[in-house]
Amino acid sequence: MRNRLSGIFWSLLFLAVPVLGVATFAVAPAFDHWLPKDVSTHGVQIDSLFYFILALTGIVFVATEVLLFWFIWKYDAARSDRPATYIQGSHTLEVIWTIIPAAVLLFLAIYQMNAWADVKMRRPDMPPTVEVVARQFEWRLRYPGRDGELGTPDDLHLTNDLHLPIDEDVLIQLKSMDVLHSFFLPNVRIKQDAVPGMKIPVWFKARESGEFDIVCAELCGWGHYKMKGRVTFEPRPQFDAWLERKYAEQEATQPPPEAGESLVAN
């Protein structure tokens, strides 16, 4: 009797796994535990790819768990008076379940190529909008000054407060000052490692205004948890006005040049 109850318990436990798993995914959006709002033009491709893979793996997961439940229930030793029988492995079956996953992976590799190219290969032909430098434990930002060139004395320097225009391409030059970081903008579906010694281009186009998080998605030291910033997307006029205010604030804090000193640094 005890063995029979044990078999029933384990079979129902395996059945509960797919039931509760599917139920969790079904109710998660109602409790706001799901993907963050997408405000980018390419995000729909990323999300579609995610949902496709989720559905594909979900079907396999549910089918596997249901089969486990069925075999445990049907072939429970406590409810059978026949001795166990054994069969040798099937070479044909092994070939089939090797080919099918390989074909699925090949299909996914081809299916995602366009989304990958949009985010990682089709770089816009434009100068960097801003330079983002990851540093333990902050995001250092450098905008081109009024001369429009990055790397000149009038560059605007900020920390953790990234502003970008909407409805136009944005090109970020990503760097790291110390260790490996990961520049993650969940609301535009962008995540890119910042590697010491490398300048990595990151590009996208935002389509909605708003304030969103910048987080580091790579464990970068004891203060990793506090390496947070904010990105604000806004129309071009508001973005330009914000830049002008920041230029004025920076200039107001800089000491005036001494007599005979050139205004342009060497």
The reported pLDDT for the residue numbered 15 is 81
**What residues have CB less than 8 Å from 44, skipping those under 6 apart?**
38
- Specify the pTM: 0.80
> What pairing do the DSSP bridges indicate for beta strands 161-165 and 228-234?
parallel
Which structure tokens are listed for 182? 């990961």
What are the sequence ranges of the domains in the chain? 2-78+93-119, 130-253
| Strand partners for 201 | 173
**What residues have CB less than 8 Å from 155, skipping those under 6 apart?**
142, 143, 144, 145
pLDDT in tens, 61-81: 888 888 888 887 777 766 667
- pLDDT higher than threshold 50 for residue 261: no
CATH number at 130-253: 2.60.40.420
- pLDDT higher than threshold 90 for residue 202: yes
- pLDDT higher than threshold 50 for residue 138: yes
- pLDDT higher than threshold 70 for residue 98: yes
The reported pLDDT for the residue numbered 107 is 92
Cα 238 to chain centroid distance, Å, stands at 28
> What pairing do the DSSP bridges indicate for beta strands 138-143 and 130-135?
antiparallel
What distance in Å separates the CA atoms of residue 38 and residue 18, rounded to the nearest whole number?
Answer: 29
For the four alpha carbons of 121, 125, 129 and 134, in that order, the dihedral sign comes to positive
The reported pLDDT for the residue numbered 232 is 97
* 31 CB neighbour count, 10 Å cutoff: 7
- pLDDT higher than threshold 70 for residue 218: yes
Confidence band, pLDDT 50/70/90 cuts, at residue 126: very high
What distance in Å separates the CA atoms of residue 20 and residue 137, rounded to the nearest whole number?
Answer: 39
The reported pLDDT for the residue numbered 263 is 41
The reported pLDDT for the residue numbered 91 is 85
- pLDDT higher than threshold 80 for residue 159: yes
Look at residues 134, 127, 122 and name the one whose alpha carbon lies nearest to residue 221.
134
What distance in Å separates the CA atoms of residue 153 and residue 220, rounded to the nearest whole number?
Answer: 30
* 28 CB neighbour count, 10 Å cutoff: 12
The reported pLDDT for the residue numbered 2 is 54
Average pLDDT, integer, range 237-261 = 81
| C-beta separation of 158 from 141 below 8 A | yes
Which structure tokens are listed for 143? 């905008």
**What residues have CB less than 8 Å from 76, skipping those under 6 apart?**
4, 7, 8, 11
